[in-house]
Structure 1
Amino acid sequence: MRTGSMALWRAYQRALAAHPWKVQVLTAAGGETRSAGTPDRPDPDHGISGLWLCAPLSGADFQGPVVGGWYKVLDRLIPGGTKVDALKKMLLDQGGFAPCFLGCFLPLVGTLNGLSAQDNWAKLQRDYLDALITNYYLWPAVQLANFYLVPLHYRLAVVQCVAVIWNSYLSWKAHQL
């Protein structure tokens, strides 16, 4: 890393040590902002505010607290950092948490995008299984590495980096007719 990058990384580490919960929530919001699109390519249905407000709100108000809290619970349920512990964490994460999280996240995004309750329910019924199956192509390997190689306080940041790709898929899925 270059000197500026190292200074930024050290500042992030200090902030994370001093205020872990706040920094993880802001990390999630920032990750969602990066994946929301660009101002020159707004969502035709929701304009620029739909792109730039919906994603950070779901990151800061939902993803950051829920995923960050889940990782703490998971480390209490399965303490340790061995390969077997990481495998157990990944299986619990992907077998229990991922289906529930996706079932909450998709309707939240639908609501933030202005879908009626009826349209949101129909969209969830149509898209949930496909999104969950696609989840299993990406996240088990990511989470296995995350749980084995990454300290707890950096896991949300790792997930947000990968989530740029994942959220692009979810955004594409959300805008299919």
Structure 2
Amino acid sequence: MLSWYKAQLAARPLLTQAVTTSILFGVGDVAAQQLVDRRGLSNHDLTRTGRMVLYGGAVFGPAATTWFRFLQKRVVVPGSTNKTILARVAADQGLFAPTFIGIFLGSMAVLEGTDVKEKLQKNYWEALSTNWMVWPFVQMVNFKVVPLDHRVLFVNVISIGWNCYLSWLNGQ
């Protein structure tokens, strides 16, 4: 399975990472509904899961893939691997995270037919501050030890729990 994934990643990196992200965003929502909300299968909101799958595959997967390539190529501190990692984490947490938390919440509001401004006012700061408690450390590991082609997958695996949280927060 891993060799098949690597072959797909080499042949179609953006598509492979978008599909992987889509699936794992769906898994995060299923976990939120079944393990956190304890809805049970008969009360599972498939539309909500569909929104997460759509966002993961159409928005986050391609954006994260492009972002990690950008960081790898453009955010480099000559002569210092550790400073480069810190600069990438700072860029990720100072630019990408605040932007994409807003895009996530706004996208969900649009797809739900609810008020974007209200959703952002209600949930943005909580999501961003929680993000800063988790993701800087994850990204330090990601940028230090994970090869570029596997960074989105690494983030996606960690994101199962994070997406469970975001899905729960979005549903509040």
**TM-score, normalized by the shorter chain, greater than 0.5:** yes
Q: Of Structure 1 and Structure 2, which has the larger fraction of its residues in helix? A: 2
Percent identity, please: 33
* Structure 1 residues without counterparts, runs of 5 or longer: 1-7
**Partners in 2 of 1:17 and 1:168 — Cα distance?**
29
Q: Does the alignment pair 1:60 with 2:61?
A: no
1:103 aligns to what?
102
1:5 aligns to what?
none
1:4 aligns to what?
none
Q: Does the alignment pair 1:14 with 2:11?
A: no
- Output one character per residue of 1:86-106: Cα deviation in whole Å (capped at 9) or x when no partner: 111001100111111111111
1:70 aligns to what?
67
Q: Normalization by structure 2: what TM-score?
A: 0.87
1:50 aligns to what?
48
Q: Normalization by structure 1: what TM-score?
A: 0.85
2:37 aligns to what?
none
RMSD (CA atoms): 1.7
* 1:16-165 alignment, distance < 5 Å: 16-37=9-30, 40=41, 42-43=43-44, 47-51=45-49, 53-79=50-76, 82-115=81-114, 119-165=115-161
Code of the residue aligned with 1:50 in structure 2: it is R
* Structure 2 residues without counterparts, runs of 5 or longer: 35-39
Runs of 4+ in 1 over 3 A off after TM superposition: none
**Aligned pairs, number:** 162
Question: Which SS does the other structure have where 2:2 is aligned?
Answer: helix
**Partners in 1 of 2:27 and 2:122 — Cα distance?**
27
